[in-house]
Structure 1
Amino acid sequence: MLASITDDPPILVCADLQVEYLTPGRRHVILDGEAATVRCLELLTLWRTNLWPVMHLKRIAQAAWFNPASRLTDWIAEAKPRPGEMTFEHPLPSAYSSSRFVDYMSNIRSVRCILVGFSLDETILATAVDGFHRSHRYQIVTDAVACRQPGTGDAAAYKQSVVNVIGNFATVHASAELIRTSGAIAV
């Protein structure tokens, strides 16, 4: 089923687009960060140009390895939320660990969100699963998501495994499948 994206655009949810994930030598650095960042910024630009709704998630954990006072938790400059864009900080992997996020999501009529960003194996996975259990519809854009390096094994296989798990709870698309030249979006 196709619907015009301009009639009822889904919310673009940018998850954890923070400097921490792109800083070389950091424990949580992601391998395909540059490619995922470019695609995230392209989608973010499309949403902003069309004045479609944008939401930003930022993980503020209390763990020793995640220092919220550090500049590493800052937004990537180009992805920094603009006035009018929603922002939610969450202490646990799921965005639903933010009571403000839960309140917002429970008060919108048609919950359709497109998740992009970093921490695929944490924030994106946990949010998609929590949303599924609340009957919220999420879509994941495979070329606009990234995750940290696994401790061992092939990073690409790890990412694909996480995407396969998320596919049980959300629709999975590549950006080319999601946005068609006609302006239609797969829903």
Structure 2
Amino acid sequence: MASETQEPPILLLVDLQHGLVEGPTEWGPRSTPKLVENVKYLLETWRSKHWPILHIQHDAFNELDNPIRAACPETFAIHTSAAPEGDEKVFVKHTGSAFFAEGLPEAIKSYGKRKVVVIGMDGAQCVNSTVRQGDDLGYKMYVVADACASYGTEDYEGKNVGADNTHNFAMWMLQPYSKVTQTADVLKELGY
């Protein structure tokens, strides 16, 4: 169990936007079939405990074919499963790591030295960048693998790597930088 002096963890939702959660058909299938269900569960859990929640949106403003641009409000919008409530803050970034979002580093520091739990999209890209930079900055990072998702990609030889393989490998790559866990286990891993 958590000690009474342990500060509650921050839930950091990375790029859970309509244009990623419900990506274009040309991206192929997305990993993590229970993504939306797990995101909702974790948000409900954090909200019921009044723990800090921070939302990140990616604005790919210079990529005209990317659906997560502020210029495309429907796909740029935060997905309904992850919509902010009350005074939950939203930060916008233009690069991979959420730590480059204006105001986010200061917001995290304002909570003191807390564990940071990351969920979101895309596991092989922005989630990966965020977690690795968070570790570099000295934060104790946690990633909830089944509350993150990835799309397939091509390897360096041009061979198609499916969404599930891409996601599994992305989560494997994060193990040196974070505790990779599951929705059902994260509270126990955090000491609650």
Q: Return the TM-score normalized by structure 1.
A: 0.86
Offset, 1:95: 0.8
Match of residue 172, structure 2, among 164, 181, 184:
164
Alignment partner of 1:141 out of 141, 144, 153: 144
Q: 1:109 aligns with which of 91, 112, 120?
A: 112
CA-based RMSD of the aligned residues comes to 2.3
Find the residue that maps to 1:3 and give its secondary structure. Answer: coil
Determine the C-alpha separation between the residues in 2 that align with 1:93 and 1:13: 14
Q: What is the CA distance between 1:30 and its match in structure 2? A: 5.1
Question: In the alignment, does 2:71 pair up with 1:69?
Answer: yes
Aligned to 1:127: 130
* 8 A Cα contact 1:21 1:28, kept in partner: no
Q: Deviations over 1:76-103 (max 9, x none)?
A: 1232111211211111010121231122
Partner SS, residue 111 of structure 2: coil
Pick closer, same or farther for the CA change 1:98–1:5 going to 2, 3 Å. Answer: farther
Q: How has the CA–CA distance of structure 1 residues 29 and 75 changed in structure 2, closer, same or farther, with 3 Å as cutoff?
A: farther
Q: Residue 32 of structure 1 aligns to which amino acid in structure 2?
A: S
**TM-score normalised over the length of structure 2:** 0.84
Find the aligned partners of 2:4 and 2:140 in 1 and give their Cα distance.
15
Any conservation in 2 of the 1:22–1:29 contact (CA below 8 Å)? no
CA–CA separation in structure 2 for the residues paired with 1:171 and 1:129: 12
In structure 2, the gaps of 5 or more residues are: 155-159
Structure 2 Cα separation of the partners of residues 29 and 77 of structure 1: 21
1:11 matched to 2:19: no
Q: Which runs of 5+ in 1 are unaligned?
A: none
Report deviation, 1:129.
1.1
Q: Does residue 179 in structure 1 map to residue 169 in structure 2?
A: no
Question: How many residues are paired up?
Answer: 183
Identity %: 19
| Aligned-partner Cα distance in 2 for 1:186–1:76 | 29
1:29-108 mapped onto 2 (5 Å cutoff):
31-32=30-31, 34-62=33-61, 63-66=63-66, 67-70=69-72, 71-108=74-111
Change in CA separation of 1:27 and 1:88 when aligned onto 2, cut-off 3 Å? farther
Q: Tell me the SS of whatever aligns to 1:121.
A: coil
